[in-house]
Amino acid sequence: MSVRRREVRVKKISGRKIIRGKVYSYEYYTLPLNLYIPKSMVERWGEEYVVERNEEKGVIVIKSKRAETG
């Protein structure tokens, strides 16, 4: 079975957008492969994750590094 495993860190994206004269600011979190991570998950489990890609099944599993160690 070909499962690729790597440790990754969350990247915080902040931005501003002006729509009809009103300024909106936003922030969100991503992992490599452009995977979105909800803010609540980052607040609870931290910024370090393990990404496992199963090439045969086409499945990506994201695990918190902190939850994995205990």
16-59 pLDDT, tens digit each: 999 999 999 999 999 988 889 999 999 999 999 999 999 889 89
Please, are residues 4 and 57 in contact by the beta-carbon 8 Å criterion?
no
The reported pLDDT for the residue numbered 70 is 60
